[in-house]
A and B are shown apart, each in its own frame.
Chain A
C-alpha cells in the first residue's frame, strides 16, 4: 500500500526539443497532461505506454517497475497492463465492434491471473455505460466518430488495464461529437478505479474531467498539482483565454425544488446554482468562468446576485486585452480566477492581500447534466 502512485522519469533528446520530465502522479482519478501542440505531451504518453523508448527512463506503476534503464528493465508494451486510446480510435477495420472489444479481453484473460469480479457481467456493464450495445455487430467503417471513440475506450478498458492512457480522444471530433462523448467520459471518471492519464490541449476538457493537472511546455513540466489550485495559477497557459474558468468542488447541502436551486458547500462557503435535483451529500463539480466573477468591497444584500462570499486577492496579471486584468483569489482554500477591468481594479483600490467579496450569478455557474453521474452508484468499479 506504500506504493500507490505513478513515478515517471524520462530524459530523451528529440529533433526539435529535449524531453525532460520527473513526475510523481496520484494512482487514482484523472490526471490531465496539458500543453500546446509540440509541448511533448503525446511523446510522454507514448514513453509511458512503452510504444517508444527513451534512452534514459524510469517508470513505476503501483510498485511495478515497467522501465528502469539503470537496471536494463524494459517491459514490452504487450506485457504491460495498460489501455491506450488513440486520437482517432484506431479500431481494427477488419473486425466487427464485438470482435474489437474481444481482442484485448481474450488476450489479457489468458495472461492475467489476478482476475477479480465477473468479466462477462463487467463487460455488459461497460458496453451499457458507454452506450454501444446496439453497435456490436457493426463494422468500424459504419460508425460515427463519437461511436468509434466510445468503442475504443471500451476496448481498452476490457483488456483490464491498471493504467488507462488517452491521447486527445476528443481532438478529432467536431463540437457536436465532443458534446456527445464528454458525458460518457465523465461517467467513466466517476466509476473508474484505475488512474487515467489524459492528454489534451483543451482547458475546458481539463476543467470538466481532470483531478490532477500537469502542464507541459517544450518537453518540461512547468507546473503540476491538484486541479483547482493549478488551474487558478495565472501562469497556467490557458488562463488568458476568453472563456477560461476555474472549478469549485463541493457537496450538496440542500435542494430547493420550487426554484430548482441547489446549495453547494465548498471550502470557501456556499454556492447556489440552478440545477436538477441531487441528494444531499453528493459531490458536484462546477466551472466558473473568470469573466463571470465580479468583486465588491462590501456585501450588498439588495442584489440579484445569489452568491457572495469572501476571498483574498493573491496576485494580479495583465492579459492580452488592454484594460483587462486577471486576478487570482483564495476563498477559504478554493482558488478562483477573476477577469476585471483595469479601471475597476484601481477604482476600488484593489491589490494583492486585500479581502474582497466575490460575486457570482447563480445562472453563470456552469454545471453539466453529466456531473450528475457522480450519483450513478448502480455500477461497481471497473478494472
Chain B
C-alpha cells in the first residue's frame, strides 16, 4: 500500500505534462485543419486520428521502434541530445501524449470551425494583423472548446495503458502509473492494492469529466 500516493502523483504529473506538451502543437494543427487548405491535409488528418482506432499496443510498438535505441528518433535523442526515452518516465509521457493528442485536436478543431470566419475577417478590416486577430478574436472565442479538449486529453492520459506498457514497461518507482499499477498488482495476486488503485482511478476520471462539463457549461461573465 505504500506506493499509493507516489503512483497517484506520478500519474497526475505525467497526465499534466503530456497535456501541456500537446496543447501548443495541437492548437496550431487544429487551427490549420479548420481554417486552411493545403496539400496533404487529409493525410495528416488521418495520421493524427490513427491512435484513436488502432490498438494502443500497436501504437506503443510503433513508438518503441521509432524511439528505441536503434530506432531513428531514439538514436537522435540519445546520441545528439543525450536523452534516453524508452523504459523511463519520459516514455510514459510520450505514450500518453501521443494517445491523447487526437482527442485534443478533434475538440479544438471543432471549436475553431464553430467560429464565424467573418469575425476574423472583420478584425482584419479593423487593423488587426493575423497574429493579433488570432489572439484577440479566434482564441477567446474558441476558449471553452480548447479547455474542454485539454481536460479530455488529460483524462485520457490518466488512463493510458496499452501504448505505455509497450514503450515504458513495468518498472516500479519509474514507470508505474495507476493503470499499469492495477495490472501489475493483479498479476502479483495483490487484489487489495489493485482495488485501491482502481478507486483512485475512478475518482480522478470522475473529477476530470465533471470539471470539463462545468467548464463547457459556464458562460462568460456578462
Point out residues on A near B: beta carbons under 8 Å.
49, 51, 76-80, 82-84, 86, 88, 90, 92-94, 103-104, 107-108, 111, 139, 155-156, 159
Contacts and interface: CB of A to CB of B under 8 A. Distances in A.
Given A78-B129, A93-B141, A107-B132, A51 B124 contact: yes
Interface string B109-129: 000000010110111111111
Contacts of A80: 125
Interface of B: 116, 118-119, 121-130, 132-133, 136-137, 140-141, 220, 222
B125 A111 contact: no
A83 to B, nearest CB: 7
Contact of B126 (A76, A88, A94, A103): A103
A234 to B, nearest CB: 37
B118 A104 contact: no
A104 B126 contact: yes
A100 B124 CA distance: 13
A78 B127 contact: yes
Given A90-B118, A90-B119, A139-B222, A77 B125 contact: yes
A107 B121 CA distance: 15
A90 B126 contact: no
Contacts of A84: 121-122, 125
Contacts of B140: 94
A49 B125 contact: yes
Contacts of A159: 125-127
10 contacts: A78-B126, A82-B125, A88-B118, A92-B119, A92-B123, A94-B141, A94-B220, A103-B126, A104-B125, A104-B126
A3 B132 CA distance: 33
B222 to A, nearest CB: 6
B146 to A, nearest CB: 13
B127 A104 contact: yes
B134 to A, nearest CB: 12
A156 B220 contact: no
A307 B60 CA distance: 91
B94 to A, nearest CB: 36
A139 B220 CA distance: 11
